[in-house]
A and B are shown apart, each in its own frame.
Chain A
Amino acid sequence: MTIPSELERHIDEIITHYPTKRAPVLWLCHLLQDHFGFLGQEQVEWIATKLSLQPINVWEVVTFYPMFTQKLRGKFHIKVCRTLSCHLAGSQKLLERLKDLGADFTVDTVECLASCGTAPAMMINDEHYDSMTPERLDKIVADIKRTGTLAKEPIAKPLPAHPLEKRVLLANITKPGYTGSLADYEKEGGYQALAKALTMKPEEIVNEVKNSEIRGRGGAGFPCGLKWSFLAKNTGKPTYLVCNADESEPGTFKDRQLINYDPHQLLEGILISCHATGAKVAYIYIRGEMPHGANVLINAIAEARAKGYVGKTAEIYVHRGAGAYICGEETGLIESLEGKRAYPRIKPPFPAIVGLFGSPTVVNNVETLSNIPHIVKNGAAWFKAMGVPGSTGTRLVCVSGPVKRPGYYEFEMGKLTMRQLIEDVCGGVTNGKKIKGVIPGGSSMPVMPANNLDVPLDFESLRKAGTMAGSGGIVVLTEDVSIVDATLNVSQFYAHESCGQCTPCREGTLWMEKMLHRIKDGHSRPEDVDLLFEVADNIDGKTICPLGEAAAWPVKAFLKNYRSEFEKACNKNG
Chain B
Amino acid sequence: MAETVKLTIDGKEVVAPKGMNLIEAAKLVGIEVPHYCYHPKLTIAGNCRMCLVDTGMPKLDKDKKPELGPDGKPVIMFAPKLAIGCNTTVAEGMVVHTRTPKVQKAREGVMEFLLINHPLDCPICDQAGECRLQEFSVDYGKGESRFVEEKVHKPKQTKLNAKITLDDERCILCSRCIRFMKEVAGQDCLGFVNRGSYSTLTCYPGQEPKTNYDLNIVDICPVGALTQTDFRFEQRVWFLKETKSVCPNCSTGCNTVLWSREGVVYRQTPRDNDAVNQCWMCDYGRLNFKFINDPTRLTSPSVKSAVYGERVNLTWLEATRQITGKLKAAGTIAGIASGRATTEELFLFKKLVGDLVDIVPHTGEADGKLLQADRNPNTAGAKLTGCATGKLPEILEGIKAGKVKTLIVLGEDLDEELAKKLELLVVIDTLPTKATEHANYVLPGTTFAEKRGTFINGKNRLQRFNAAIPPVGIARPEWQTLTALLGASYAAIEDVFADMARTLPALAGLNLSKIGDLGVELKIEQPAVQPVSQAAEAVAK
A and B touch in the complex (CB under 8 A): yes
Query: Which residues from chain A sit less than 8 Å from chain B, CB to CB?
Result: 41, 44, 54-57, 59-60, 63-64, 66, 324, 341, 343, 346, 348, 495-504, 506-511, 514-515, 518, 531, 538-539, 541-544
Contact with B195, one of A498, A511, A544 (Cβ below 8 angstroms): A498
Give the Cβ gap from B349 to chain A, nearest Cβ, in Å: 50
Known contacts A57-B188, A538-B109; A63 and B44 CB within 8 A of each other: no
The stretch among B145-153, B232-240, B281-289, B482-490 that forms the contact with chain A is: B145-153
Within 8 A of A (CB), among B186-222: 188-199, 202-205, 207
On whether the beta carbons of A498 and B196 are closer than 8 Å, the reply is yes
On whether the beta carbons of A56 and B114 are closer than 8 Å, the reply is no
The stretch among B81-89, B92-100, B438-446 that forms the contact with chain A is: B81-89
Q: Give the one of A41, A63, A499 with max B CB within 10 A.
A: A63
Q: Give the one of A341, A531, A542, A543 with max B CB within 10 A.
A: A542
Within 8 A of A (CB), among B165-199: 172-173, 188-199
On whether the beta carbons of B196 and A541 are closer than 8 Å, the reply is no
Q: Which residues of the other chain, B, contact A510 by a CB distance below 8 angstroms?
A: 152, 196-197
On whether the beta carbons of B195 and A542 are closer than 8 Å, the reply is no
Q: Which residues of the other chain, A, contact B191 by a CB distance below 8 angstroms?
A: 56-57, 59-60
Give the Cβ gap from A555 to chain B, nearest Cβ, in Å: 15
Q: Contact flags (1/0) for B55-98 with A, using CB distance below 8 Å?
A: 00000000000000000000000000110100100000000000
**Chain B: which residue is nearest A497 at the CB level?**
B196
Interface of B is mostly: loop
Known contacts A56-B188, A503-B47; A542 and B52 CB within 8 A of each other: yes
- 19 more CB-based (< 8 A) A-B contacts, given A507-B113, A538-B112, A542-B49: A44-B204, A55-B207, A57-B188, A59-B204, A60-B191, A346-B87, A498-B196, A499-B196, A500-B173, A500-B194, A500-B196, A502-B48, A504-B113, A506-B173, A510-B152, A511-B149, A538-B106, A542-B82, A544-B49
Q: Which residues of the other chain, A, contact B150 by a CB distance below 8 angstroms?
A: 514
22 A-B residue pairings within 8 Å (CB atoms): A54-B188, A54-B207, A56-B190, A56-B191, A60-B191, A324-B195, A496-B196, A499-B195, A499-B196, A500-B199, A501-B47, A504-B109, A504-B110, A506-B197, A507-B197, A509-B196, A511-B113, A538-B109, A539-B109, A542-B49, A544-B47, A544-B49
Known contacts A63-B193, A509-B197; A503 and B147 CB within 8 A of each other: no
Q: Give the one of A59, A499, A506, A514 with max B CB within 10 A.
A: A506
Is B46's beta carbon under 8 Å from chain A? yes
Is B389's beta carbon under 8 Å from chain A? no
On whether the beta carbons of B204 and A56 are closer than 8 Å, the reply is yes
User: How far is A345 from B152 in the complex, measured between Cα atoms in Å?
Assistant: 26
Known contacts A56-B190, A59-B191, A501-B47; A542 and B152 CB within 8 A of each other: no
On whether the beta carbons of A60 and B193 are closer than 8 Å, the reply is yes
On whether the beta carbons of A63 and B196 are closer than 8 Å, the reply is no
On whether the beta carbons of A55 and B204 are closer than 8 Å, the reply is yes
Q: Which residues of the other chain, B, contact A508 by a CB distance below 8 angstroms?
A: 113
Q: Which residues of the other chain, A, contact B44 by a CB distance below 8 angstroms?
A: 346
Q: Which residues of the other chain, A, contact B112 by a CB distance below 8 angstroms?
A: 538
Is B116's beta carbon under 8 Å from chain A? yes
On whether the beta carbons of A507 and B116 are closer than 8 Å, the reply is yes
Known contacts A348-B87, A506-B173, A515-B149; A500 and B49 CB within 8 A of each other: no
Give the Cβ gap from B179 to chain A, nearest Cβ, in Å: 13
Q: Which residues of the other chain, B, contact A502 by a CB distance below 8 angstroms?
A: 46-49
Give the Cβ gap from B83 to chain A, nearest Cβ, in Å: 10
Known contacts A346-B87, A507-B117, A538-B109; A500 and B82 CB within 8 A of each other: no
On whether the beta carbons of A495 and B197 are closer than 8 Å, the reply is yes
**How many pairs of residues, A versus B, come closer than 8 Å at their CB atoms?**
121
Q: Contact flags (1/0) for B106-122 with A, using CB distance below 8 Å?
A: 10011011101100000
On whether the beta carbons of A503 and B116 are closer than 8 Å, the reply is no
User: How far is A66 from B195 in the complex, measured between Cα atoms in Å?
Assistant: 9
User: Count of chain B residues with Cβ under 8 Å from any Cβ of A?
Assistant: 45
On whether the beta carbons of B195 and A56 are closer than 8 Å, the reply is no
Q: Which residues of the other chain, B, contact A56 by a CB distance below 8 angstroms?
A: 188-191, 202-204, 207
Interface of A is mostly: helix
Known contacts A56-B188, A56-B191; A541 and B81 CB within 8 A of each other: yes
User: How far is A542 from B191 in the complex, measured between Cα atoms in Å?
Assistant: 24
Q: Give the one of B106, B149, B188 with max A CB within 10 A.
A: B149
**Chain A: which residue is nearest B149 at the CB level?**
A514
On whether the beta carbons of A59 and B197 are closer than 8 Å, the reply is no
Q: Which residues of the other chain, B, contact A531 by a CB distance below 8 angstroms?
A: 146
On whether the beta carbons of A503 and B113 are closer than 8 Å, the reply is yes
User: How far is A450 from B307 in the complex, measured between Cα atoms in Å?
Assistant: 110
On whether the beta carbons of B204 and A498 are closer than 8 Å, the reply is no
**Chain B: which residue is nearest A323 at the CB level?**
B195
User: How far is A541 from B112 in the complex, measured between Cα atoms in Å?
Assistant: 16
On whether the beta carbons of B196 and A503 are closer than 8 Å, the reply is no
Q: Which residues of the other chain, B, contact A538 by a CB distance below 8 angstroms?
A: 105-106, 109-110, 112-113
User: How far is A80 from B387 in the complex, measured between Cα atoms in Å?
Assistant: 80
User: How far is A498 from B152 in the complex, measured between Cα atoms in Å?
Assistant: 15
User: How far is A2 from B172 in the complex, measured between Cα atoms in Å?
Assistant: 40
| 4 smallest beta-carbon distances between A and B, as pairs | A538-B109, A500-B199, A346-B46, A507-B113
Q: Which residues of the other chain, A, contact B81 by a CB distance below 8 angstroms?
A: 541
Give the Cβ gap from A150 to chain B, nearest Cβ, in Å: 28
On whether the beta carbons of B197 and A500 are closer than 8 Å, the reply is yes
Give the Cβ gap from B142 to chain A, nearest Cβ, in Å: 11
**Chain A: which residue is nearest B117 at the CB level?**
A507
Q: Which residues of the other chain, B, contact A511 by a CB distance below 8 angstroms?
A: 113, 116, 147, 149
User: How far is A348 from B49 in the complex, measured between Cα atoms in Å?
Assistant: 15
**Chain A: which residue is nearest B203 at the CB level?**
A56
Q: Which residues of the other chain, B, contact A44 by a CB distance below 8 angstroms?
A: 204
On whether the beta carbons of A503 and B207 are closer than 8 Å, the reply is no
Q: Which residues of the other chain, A, contact B204 by a CB distance below 8 angstroms?
A: 44, 54-56, 59
User: How far is A324 from B113 in the complex, measured between Cα atoms in Å?
Assistant: 23
On whether the beta carbons of A498 and B197 are closer than 8 Å, the reply is yes
On whether the beta carbons of B113 and A63 are closer than 8 Å, the reply is no
User: How far is A170 from B440 in the complex, measured between Cα atoms in Å?
Assistant: 102
Within 8 A of A (CB), among B33-50: 44-50
Give the Cβ gap from B52 to chain A, nearest Cβ, in Å: 6
Give the Cβ gap from A99 to chain B, nearest Cβ, in Å: 26
Contact with B192, one of A60, A348, A539 (Cβ below 8 angstroms): A60
Give the Cβ gap from B205 to chain A, nearest Cβ, in Å: 8
Q: Which residues of the other chain, B, contact A543 by a CB distance below 8 angstroms?
A: 49
Known contacts A55-B207, A538-B112; A506 and B190 CB within 8 A of each other: no
Q: Which residues of the other chain, B, contact A341 by a CB distance below 8 angstroms?
A: 192, 195
Q: Which residues of the other chain, B, contact A55 by a CB distance below 8 angstroms?
A: 204, 207
Q: Which residues of the other chain, A, contact B197 by a CB distance below 8 angstroms?
A: 495, 498, 500, 506-507, 509-510
**Chain A: which residue is nearest B182 at the CB level?**
A54
Contact with A54, one of B117, B189, B202 (Cβ below 8 angstroms): B189
**Chain B: which residue is nearest A45 at the CB level?**
B204
Contact with A504, one of B49, B149, B172 (Cβ below 8 angstroms): B49
Give the Cβ gap from B132 to chain A, nearest Cβ, in Å: 14
On whether the beta carbons of B196 and A495 are closer than 8 Å, the reply is yes
Contact with B149, one of A66, A501, A518 (Cβ below 8 angstroms): A518
User: How far is A66 from B202 in the complex, measured between Cα atoms in Å?
Assistant: 19
Q: Which residues of the other chain, A, contact B192 by a CB distance below 8 angstroms?
A: 60, 341, 500
Q: Which residues of the other chain, B, contact A495 by a CB distance below 8 angstroms?
A: 196-197
On whether the beta carbons of B195 and A64 are closer than 8 Å, the reply is yes
Within 8 A of A (CB), among B258-298: none
On whether the beta carbons of A503 and B110 are closer than 8 Å, the reply is yes
Give the Cβ gap from B487 to chain A, nearest Cβ, in Å: 63
User: How far is A348 from B44 in the complex, measured between Cα atoms in Å?
Assistant: 11
User: How far is A55 from B193 in the complex, measured between Cα atoms in Å?
Assistant: 12
Contact with B114, one of A497, A499, A503, A518 (Cβ below 8 angstroms): A503
On whether the beta carbons of A544 and B46 are closer than 8 Å, the reply is yes
Q: Which residues of the other chain, B, contact A497 by a CB distance below 8 angstroms?
A: 196
Contact with B84, one of A59, A63, A346 (Cβ below 8 angstroms): A346
Q: Which residues of the other chain, A, contact B198 by a CB distance below 8 angstroms?
A: 500
Q: Which residues of the other chain, A, contact B114 by a CB distance below 8 angstroms?
A: 503, 507
On whether the beta carbons of B113 and A500 are closer than 8 Å, the reply is no
